Amino acid sequence: MKIIVAPDSFKESLSAKAVASAISKGILKVLPKAEIMQIPISDGGEGLLDALVEVLGGERFSVFVKDPLLRKIKAEYAIIENGKTAIIEMAQASGLVLLKKSERSPLHTSTYGTGQLILDALDRGCTKIIIGIGGSATNDGGMGMVKALGGKFVKKNNQDIGYGGKALADLYKIDLSKFDKRIVNCEIITACDVTNPLTGVNGASIVYGGQKGGTADQLKKLDNNLIHYASIIRKNLRIEVETIKGAGAAGGMGAALLAFFDAKLVDGIDLILKTLRIEEHIINSDLIITGEGKIDEQTLNGKAIVGLARIAKINKVPLIAIAGKLGEGIEPLNNEGIHAVFSIVDQPMKLSMALKNADKLIENLIENIMRTLTIKF
């Protein structure tokens, strides 16, 4: 029996590679002779770097950057294709995973560190950058990233507005006179994990700001700030970003990449799956097991497991998905090629315990699933 094990990461708990390992252990308890192919995936967020470098090779670089709260940390990125293409994972420098729960604050977090990674790649001669923008801790519309590359965001008195989504309320003018000119000759491909617009009820702040630590009142203010931000971009750059699909990704990072970098936004999971040539492996497989930290109605909006399921459906290969948490609105997933969905939590427990023991919970769940699948009547 050939089984493809292709999970995304379980945020705040396990990397995609660690999830794949736990799934495989569960399978082998029941089917010790099973042929297992582990293919950790990503939708553009955490795990993008590992997923692509695993296949494409390349050299990793460690760089000192500022984290979402502007503290000095080390972050990694990779350069492939004879030193011309950089792979940057935003979560490495500006990710939610870098903050304690008590530190989450979309009013103050910044994308400056991601800009520093881009700057380092340019300094090393890269002329193409693939950047994954999932898993962010930010809601600053990518302002920090642009600042790291020389852009200025000023008040009426020509003073810098500061950092974070809160500061956008004071924005009067954008000055790109000292913005790094090398960007013009650099191809930017953005692996985007969502299709949300920048503002409104489906926008960056309202939909995702809560998980980044924002209260209901703060999210309304942040949304208004992004509306204002979009109006200044419209006025200064004559570019419309507010309603474009994907502009709301990563707290508005999508909008900044469109407006300041002339980036191409692509579906993150499509980019990953094509690069990994995963369909070639699926064709001859008997079963696919995938998963991510949470599966809910948002999973349909460009998340990794749905992209994988659609390929599985075309090739008529059954797919099972697991998650740390199941939310509402998952019924439509069955129409996308997901045959069954399971939560790894097998008894009432605190979230901290579920996160701590996720690998063992995954292993136990998969063992039980495989025992069920091998029942002979």
pLDDT in tens, 277-330: 889 999 989 999 999 888 887 776 657 788 899 999 999 999 999 999 888 888
DSSP element (H, E) containing 369: helix 358-373
In DSSP terms, 251 is beta-bridged to none
Is residue 86 predicted with pLDDT exceeding 60? Answer: yes
Q: What percent of the chain has pLDDT over 70?
A: 99
Report the candidate in 290, 255, 203 with the shortest Cα–Cα distance to residue 8.
290
CATH dotted code for 2-41+277-373: 3.40.50.10350
The DSSP annotation for 48-94 comes to: HHHHHHHHH--EEEEEEEE-TTS-EEEEEEEEETTTTEEEEEHHHHH
pLDDT > 90 in the chain, percent: 74
Tokens, residue 75: 């972050």
- What CATH homologous superfamily does 48-269 map to? Glycerate kinase, domain 2 (3.90.1510.10)
User: From CA 141, how far away is CA 226, in angstroms rounded?
Assistant: 7
Using one digit for the tens of pLDDT, what is the confidence trace for 97-137? Answer: 999 999 999 999 999 999 999 999 999 999 999 999 988 99
pLDDT at 206: 97
Give per-residue burial for 264-284: e unless 16+ CB within 10 Å, then b. ebbbbbbbbbeebebeeebee
Are the C-beta atoms of 36 and 5 separated by less than 8 Å? yes
For residues 118 and 86, give the distance between their C-alpha atoms in angstroms, rounded to a whole number: 8
pLDDT at site 45: 73
Predicted pLDDT at 301: 62
What pLDDT does 180 receive? 98
pLDDT at position 300: 67
Q: Among 12-21, 45-54, 254-263, 340-349, which stretch is predicted with the lowest mean pLDDT? A: 45-54
Residue 333: the pLDDT is: 83
Structure tokens that stand for 342 in this block: 């399971």
- Give ranges for CATH 3.90.1510.10 in the chain: 48-269
Cα(84)–Cα(86) distance, integer angstroms: 7
Residues of the chain with CATH 3.40.50.10350: 2-41+277-373
Q: What is the pLDDT of residue 268?
A: 82
d(CA 203, CA 194): 10
Terminal Cα-to-Cα distance of the chain (whole angstroms): 19
Residue (of 315, 306, 307) closest to 282 by Cα position: 315
pTM, to two decimals: 0.84
Query: How far from 228 is each of 2, 5, 247, 317, CA to CA, in Å?
Result: 53, 44, 15, 47
Mean pLDDT to the nearest integer, 144-163: 98
- Burial of 210 per CB tally in 10 Å (0-12, 13-18, 19+): middle
Q: Which pLDDT does position 173 carry in this prediction?
A: 97
Those residues with Cβ within 8 angstroms of residue 61's Cβ, 6 or more apart along the chain or in another chain: 76, 77, 78, 79, 120, 124
- Asked if residue 261 has pLDDT above 70, the reply is yes
